[in-house]
Structure 1
Amino acid sequence: MVKPSSSLLSRRGFLGAAVASLALPAVAEVPAVSMRPRLRNAQRVQASAVDRLLERSGVSGQVVFAVADADTGEMLEGRRTRVGLAPASVTKAITALYALDVLGPSHRFVTEVVAAGEIKDGILTGDLILVGGCDPTLDTRALADLAAQLKAAGLREVRGRFLVFENALRPLHTIDPGQPDHLGYSPAISGLALNYNRVHFEWKRGASDTYNVTMDARTAGYRPEVDMARMTVVQRSLPVYTYEDAGTHDKWTVARGALGQEGARWLPVRRPGLYAGDVFATLARANGIVLKTPQMVEALPQSTRLASVSSAPLRDILQGMLKYSNNLTAEMVGQAASLRRAGRPHTLAASARQMNLWAIETLGMQNPAFVDHSGLGGQSRVSAQDMVQALVAAQKNDTLRPILKPVKMRDAQGRPTNDHPVKADAKTGTLNFVSGLAGYVTAPGGREMAFAIFSADEDIRATITRENRERPPGARTWATRARRLQSNLLARWGTVFDAQDTAALKN
């Protein structure tokens, strides 16, 4: 097992008094601030205020939360803090900490083109290989750079095969098999990704009432059409999309009745290695280098590097991941960290288990139960208390908050405002009838607190079929209510715990 790099997060640096405060049973699994049978008057007022917020929210199912002083770990308020709920994309905050600690903030992912054979007078007599290096941000422009480097190096002809290596990570057909095939936020995963493993599908109705369709790998300045993802317009109303793995390509159909005059959307790629190889071959041909049809290879032969491109530093990648909540980025960087820590994981769940162990060892979490790195899998569970404990640990080194996205607070009328006295930076998480928010909130007086809020209605979730997971009835209204409750809780904590003596609110 490879040990993590020099730690950004020291277990010794935060365990002790702060963790002891977080672990107080007085706030566990209860709807009030304290478990004392006889509440003081101040405690009754606080419990009643929270109860009123919950009642007015209209959020069905379970609501759990915890808030603690970010510097000391002193627990300030909580509701059912040890109950584990699905964290959704709040998971990405833990993934970011995991990757930063194991790989390091300056780590860069490298994609290469290598030659297995001799090059003489610009002619490669052996194979040319595109090698994925776990870069989740690789795009068509980067592949164009690789092709241009080959031309600049004098390569004119490849007489051997064109191979693609994606096995730095074990290829997986989708992030969450429970999601419909056409949803772009659950693409395939491997050690090679292009354009977040999505292909751009565009359609326009022609003069003869037929449709012109294109499938391309567009990035700013580039729009190469692809052959490995193919679309056919079919005379039907539903289902809108069907998918079939045709072996050499992704085979899609779309219902004619759903298209209208024109439009476009991103569809997931299920064969990322072939997708990248298809696009790279087109870009190489534009530079005068003709390659054969790409073939996948499971192991790398002895070879010589001809060209390479590097990603941005990991910290920048993670900041973008937290801002845009990209699932593929989370899964690839999480698995890359597990690869460094314990070898190539065979499944997302196996990689997530490594992250769970790391979180226990490094963050002092008690019972994290993540099943992936993105939160898309609804089987993950984490408690508000565990999440807050991790946030307090990260605060010791100011690791996470600088890369979290600011939360838009709301005024008394529920409207988003930029000048609210309470400031928060956090990671959101949303699945159907699941909503989470966790991060840091600063009161007007300057007190910093770590918090986690999780809501879920598992009874309704259990009734949603796979086909209806894109937009199930009632999900948007429920999510709006959950987000409003989160904002109200943040505003409350920024007022109630603003640098005041909280002794009267504790046991």
Structure 2
Amino acid sequence: MPAFDAMIRAPSTGFARRMRRCLAVLFLTAIWAMPGLAEPQATPEMKAIAKAGFAPEDIGFVLIDLDDGRALAEQTADALFIPASVAKLAVVYPAQQLLGADYKFQTRLYRSGDTLYLKGGGDPVLTNIELRDLALQVQALQPKGGWKAFFYDAGATGSVPEVSNDQPIQATYNAGVDALSVDFNRIQVNWSRDEEGKLAFHARAVADGLNVPADWVQFMPAESETPPGANFLFAGDGSDESWLYASDLPESLPEEGAIFLPVKQPALNTARVFRALAQRNGIALPEPQEGMVPPDAVLAGTVESPPLAEVMTGLLKFSNNMTAELIGMATSRKLTGQVLGPPESSAALGDWLRQHLSYVDWTGFKLVNHSGLSSESRASPRQIAAVLMAMAREPVLAGMLNKIMGDDPKAEAAAKSGTMDFACGLGGFLTAKSGKRLAFAIFLLDREKRSALDASFDRRVLAPTPGARNWLGRAHALENTLLKSWRERF
């Protein structure tokens, strides 16, 4: 193109400069219009996203080579998404670093004269079995006149009646959290018609082969019609666990049924379960009262949780929110020396991550609790990938994630998932067919639909949001498509 070359070399007059700009534009336009160069080459990821029916801004991901830290594939990796339960990874890593894999939670009994104290240590996996074993340790210590008072002390952690106030009240995954928590803070409820044709309810605390009637849980018919999908409404206060049940057609309960309901006063409920178990073993205790263990009290019994590594493996497998909150609060107490509630505790661990993984930009990272059960929490794919890279250096953590793809023994994936209506995520490790070790974080979010849901959400209703199931099905299918593509290509 001699004319073009000549113009490029021409003296820099005003006319020449204008002509050079015009010719350059025409030249580049002609090149762009040539066959095969009409558009930038679409990546396999872009094709998969389009095929799944998502907009590019709905998804963010990053794929990291664990050997050298390079990003092999990414899209909007610094955009903020709702992490849901993937946020639990941001609890597991600090907990292992600060508490240690061998850390054990303790629940203790103290005595002072004829008074007995049950003190919680935040054990997230405490069951009726351990409470019975604890009661047996004081069987031979009963005062001659019997126990005159029984107190429970849950001051070792923060306390909340539910994990999140923007989630259904009736959901068992939204139970209360306290230093004394038993059987994952849920109560099994059965009902049927009695001889008079009235609904009769029976509640019990359940464990492996050791169930305790929870007759302190009360049920009353709702005086007004409940909204569709709201069969039970919490009506308790700080001293009881009471529920209203739907009694008007068309939202009345069936003739018989069973359900689990969340406990909203965990410490009091745990103390009552302990009292019932103690009575089964010949130990009569008065109704429990809240109170701190005095300095002169003597240790009378102790039960311990399994090591933290085992508890966290269960957390990543079953994703229990209460467990995440108690582990997180124990970790922040070790870090700060203070008893913090879930929001403050989560913020403290977020600050710790910023300091210890400072090579990543943590702008916008926000967890309002440790479980991820909130639409207000935010994290980017690159931030979660940084946590995964740190976990990969710790053998005890790297093996905790659940396998999600193992059809080829040389190419498998293990990950933590997170799901909310119109928001989901997946973070974990992938071994490609080449043998390369990879870390990945994938998030999807329909911001418009999620915002609309938050604005109109009725916490009394447990039923799923219309359209959410289909959206999540497409999102999970896309996650799987990306993982399969990555293990083949890298």
Q: TM-score range by the shorter chain?
A: 0.7 to 0.9
Give the Cα–Cα distance (whole angstroms) in 2 for the partners of residues 153 and 310 of structure 1. Answer: 20
Give the Cα–Cα distance (whole angstroms) in 1 for the partners of residues 332 and 189 of structure 2. Answer: 34
Q: Which residue does 2:119 correspond to in 1?
A: 131
Q: Which residue does 2:391 correspond to in 1?
A: 394
The code of the aligned residue for 1:255 comes to A
The answer to whether structure 1 residue 180 and structure 2 residue 173 are counterparts is no
The answer to whether structure 1 residue 52 and structure 2 residue 43 are counterparts is no
For the 8 Å contact 1:441–1:448, the answer to whether it is kept is yes
The code of the aligned residue for 2:443 comes to F
The answer to whether structure 1 residue 404 and structure 2 residue 401 are counterparts is yes
Give the Cα–Cα distance (whole angstroms) in 2 for the partners of residues 350 and 237 of structure 1. Answer: 35
Q: Which residue does 2:62 correspond to in 1?
A: 66
Q: Which residue does 2:421 correspond to in 1?
A: 432
- Give the alignment partner of residue 331 of structure 1, picking from 310, 325, 338: 325
Q: 1:156 to 1:373 in 2, by over 3 A?
A: farther
The answer to whether structure 1 residue 313 and structure 2 residue 307 are counterparts is yes
Give the Cα–Cα distance (whole angstroms) in 1 for the partners of residues 274 and 144 of structure 2. Answer: 15
Give the superposition deviation at 1:152: 4.5
- Give the alignment partner of residue 157 of structure 2, picking from 169, 186, 211: 169
The code of the aligned residue for 1:406 comes to K
- Comparing 453-462 and 363-372, the one that deviates more: 363-372
Q: Which residue does 2:475 correspond to in 1?
A: 482
Q: TM-score, with normalisation over the residues of structure 1? A: 0.82
Q: 1:297 to 1:108 in 2, by over 3 A?
A: same
The answer to whether structure 1 residue 246 and structure 2 residue 237 are counterparts is yes
- Matched position secondary structure for 2:213: coil
Give the Cα–Cα distance (whole angstroms) in 2 for the partners of residues 258 and 156 of structure 1. Answer: 52
Give the Cα–Cα distance (whole angstroms) in 2 for the partners of residues 196 and 353 of structure 1. Answer: 24
- Matched position secondary structure for 1:242: strand
Give the Cα–Cα distance (whole angstroms) in 1 for the partners of residues 464 and 409 of structure 2. Answer: 32
Q: 1:455 to 1:153 in 2, by over 3 A?
A: same
Q: 1:338 to 1:46 in 2, by over 3 A?
A: farther
The code of the aligned residue for 2:385 comes to V
| Structure 1: tracts of 5 or more residues without a match | 1-36, 118-124, 410-417, 498-507
1:3-22 to 2 correspondence within 5 Å? none
Task: Output one character per residue of 1:329-368: Cα deviation in whole Å (capped at 9) or x when no partner.
Answer: 0000000000111023443121011111111222334313
- Comparing 361-370 and 329-338, the one that deviates more: 361-370
Q: Which residue does 1:450 correspond to in 2?
A: 439
Give the superposition deviation at 1:287: 1.4
User: Which has more radius of gyration?
Assistant: 2
- Matched position secondary structure for 1:332: helix
Task: Output one character per residue of 1:88-114: Cα deviation in whole Å (capped at 9) or x when no partner.
Answer: 100111211111111000000010111
Q: 1:386 to 1:326 in 2, by over 3 A?
A: same
- Matched position secondary structure for 1:85: coil
Q: 1:378 to 1:297 in 2, by over 3 A?
A: same
The code of the aligned residue for 1:487 comes to N
Give the Cα–Cα distance (whole angstroms) in 2 for the partners of residues 169 and 395 of structure 1. Answer: 30
Q: Which residue does 1:289 correspond to in 2?
A: 283
| Structure 2: tracts of 5 or more residues without a match | 1-31
- Matched position secondary structure for 2:267: helix
Aligned residues: 441
Q: Which residue does 2:361 correspond to in 1?
A: 366
Give the superposition deviation at 1:496: 1.2
Q: Which residue does 1:6 correspond to in 2?
A: none
Give the Cα–Cα distance (whole angstroms) in 2 for the partners of residues 389 and 287 of structure 1. Answer: 51
Q: Which residue does 2:8 correspond to in 1?
A: none
Give the superposition deviation at 1:263: 2.1
For the 8 Å contact 1:111–1:133, the answer to whether it is kept is yes
Give the superposition deviation at 1:429: 0.4
The answer to whether structure 1 residue 228 and structure 2 residue 224 are counterparts is no
Give the superposition deviation at 1:408: 4.0
- Matched position secondary structure for 2:452: coil
Q: 1:392 to 1:461 in 2, by over 3 A?
A: same
Give the superposition deviation at 1:240: 1.4
Q: Which residue does 1:382 correspond to in 2?
A: 379
The code of the aligned residue for 1:447 comes to K
For the 8 Å contact 1:227–1:249, the answer to whether it is kept is no
Give the superposition deviation at 1:155: 5.9
Q: Which residue does 1:10 correspond to in 2?
A: none
Give the superposition deviation at 1:247: 3.5
Task: Output one character per residue of 1:240-289: Cα deviation in whole Å (capped at 9) or x when no partner.
Answer: 11112334201101114443232222111111111011111111111111
- Give the alignment partner of residue 451 of structure 2, picking from 454, 462, 468: 462
For the 8 Å contact 1:97–1:399, the answer to whether it is kept is no
The answer to whether structure 1 residue 196 and structure 2 residue 184 are counterparts is yes
- Matched position secondary structure for 1:158: coil
Give the Cα–Cα distance (whole angstroms) in 2 for the partners of residues 373 and 96 of structure 1. Answer: 10
- Give the alignment partner of residue 199 of structure 2, picking from 211, 216, 221: 211
For the 8 Å contact 1:401–1:426, the answer to whether it is kept is no
CA RMSD of aligned residues (A): 2.3
- Give the alignment partner of residue 105 of structure 1, picking from 86, 101, 104: 101
Q: Which residue does 1:33 correspond to in 2?
A: none
Give the superposition deviation at 1:297: 1.2
Give the Cα–Cα distance (whole angstroms) in 1 for the partners of residues 463 and 344 of structure 2. Answer: 27
Q: 1:250 to 1:59 in 2, by over 3 A?
A: farther
Give the superposition deviation at 1:302: 2.5
Q: Which residue does 1:495 correspond to in 2?
A: 488
For the 8 Å contact 1:128–1:158, the answer to whether it is kept is no
Task: Output one character per residue of 1:2-34: Cα deviation in whole Å (capped at 9) or x when no partner.
Answer: xxxxxxxxxxxxxxxxxxxxxxxxxxxxxxxxx
